[in-house]
A and B are shown apart, each in its own frame.
Chain A
């Protein structure tokens, strides 16, 4: 032991030195640094959690926003479609009305024409009767202006059916 240099005073000095360093390092380094490491770890954990939360929130908001946008788009689309349908209906209505009106006008015009023609035909008939009677008077030289001769011409005309050829 002596040859190896084992010596109680040196050994004690080394022991005291070790204990002193241990105590100083424990106070100065181990406790504060380990605390610091733990706090930092916790803080990073919290930060990460917070970031995750924010990310999730943002995603949620994004989804919400997209949904709203979709809704608006769909609504606009449906509004436009319904407007188109209404416009088409209106067009049809207007068209139908116009056609009806035109038909009416046409019919009215035809009625008037008929009436006028009938009028003309009856007038023509009167004149034909008058002329034929006049002609006959000249031929026979007598006054045929009585009811009987007039009836005769009338009947003749009816037989010829003058009106039938010109339309009723």
Chain B
């Protein structure tokens, strides 16, 4: 590989391009601050429902997933070809995976775990499409700024008060974004308004998993369905996992208190599963976005290795979310009374 002259030429050319861009467009990471927002920015509103880039991307994910599902299973044949083959391979791989984790109960959990996997992996990869997160426009909060039209900044002529549309849309390829942002920033400073705080870069597409609501929704479903399956399998006895007063009521104070304490810990850890699920996915994807953005602003070549890393992370996060869900569901359906009488008898 190192002896390949073409590779060296490509690397040197890329570095040269990076240097040239750096010289002619000396941008700072300052601009990143405007484009990174934990809470997604609102693009527009449908009725009273605020539509964000992540919501838009989620709709795209929905269309892609359902479209793929529809095309691949339109004509099911015994000897599969094309899309059907692809879909069957994916399903078969997932069956193998979840069977190895959830055991014989896999078929019961399959819909949930497989949907989580597909949804998360589609969401993550859509966020990695070049342009997602980097093509959008500048938006200013309307409360403090008066020179806005339809929620978008106007780099307007002071005399005519007319908005120039070319100033509104910003391609977030670095130089153009910086130019526009600095222009805007300067104009705000001149007017005595602290622009940075209110200005934000709003991409059109953004990975839905970098919006905390999506991981949170999945985590809620995952944990809730775990309780449901646990109850289906063990009935009301399932709840002795968290509220085990059995031995305490029998008069065994010492062990009874231990049981109650263990149940309490179980309950807290169960609730915190929601948090850990949410922040594991959200944190990874959001951090990945920020890293890619900062690297892009630092030097033209830098995002490449990180892009490869994010590609890997996107898969791993989907995998982990689905696998953990399957594992928790298995534990919930397999546990014997959580420190109750059966557990005691076994020791």
Contact = CB atoms under 8 A, between A and B. Distances in A.
Given A25-B118, A29-B91, A6 B111 contact: no
Nearest to A26: B111
Contacts of A10: 40, 50, 52, 54-55, 211, 213
Tell which of A4, A24, A37 has the most Cβ of chain B within 10 Å: A4
Tell which of A20, A22, A25, A40 has the most Cβ of chain B within 10 Å: A25
A28 B114 contact: no
A29 B87 contact: yes
A11 B211 CA distance: 10
A77 B73 CA distance: 68
A96 B112 CA distance: 105
A28 B67 CA distance: 10
Interface of B: 37-40, 48-50, 52, 54-55, 58, 62, 65-66, 69-70, 72-73, 76, 78, 80, 87-88, 91-92, 95, 107, 110-112, 114-115, 118-119, 208, 211-214, 216-218, 220-221
Given A10-B52, A18-B217, A4 B38 contact: yes
Contacts of B91: 29-30, 33-34, 37
A33 B88 contact: yes
A14 interface: yes
- Tell me the dominant secondary structure on chain A's binding face: helix
A5 interface: yes
Nearest to A39: B78
B73 A6 contact: no
A61 to B, nearest CB: 31
Interface string A79-122: 00000000000000000000000000000000000000000000
Given A24-B69, A29-B69, A7 B213 contact: yes
B322 to A, nearest CB: 13
Contact of B213 (A14, A24, A40): A14
Interface of A: 2-7, 9-11, 13-15, 17-22, 24-26, 28-30, 32-34, 36-37, 39-40, 43
A70 to B, nearest CB: 45
Contacts of B69: 24-25, 28-29
Nearest to B54: A10
- Tell me the dominant secondary structure on chain B's binding face: helix
A6 B92 contact: no
B55 A21 contact: no
A43 B78 CA distance: 10
A19 B220 CA distance: 12
B62 A17 contact: yes
Contact of A11 (B65, B73, B216): B216
A51 to B, nearest CB: 18
Nearest to B70: A28
Contacts of B213: 5-7, 10-11, 13-14
B62 to A, nearest CB: 6
Contact of A25 (B49, B111, B211, B220): B111
B76 A15 contact: no
Tell which of B95, B211, B220 has the most Cβ of chain A within 10 Å: B211
Contacts of B110: 30, 34
22 contacts: A3-B38, A5-B38, A5-B211, A6-B216, A9-B48, A10-B213, A13-B49, A13-B58, A14-B217, A19-B221, A21-B62, A21-B65, A22-B112, A25-B66, A26-B115, A28-B69, A28-B70, A33-B88, A33-B91, A36-B88, A40-B78, A43-B78
Given A11-B216, A33-B91, A37-B88, A18 B119 contact: yes
A33 B87 contact: yes
A21 B88 contact: no
Nearest to A10: B213
B217 A11 contact: yes
Contacts of A30: 91, 110-111, 114
B146 to A, nearest CB: 25
Contacts of A32: 73, 76
A25 B90 CA distance: 13
Contacts of A24: 66, 69
Contacts of B38: 3-5
A24 to B, nearest CB: 5
Contact of A15 (B55, B78, B87, B220): B220
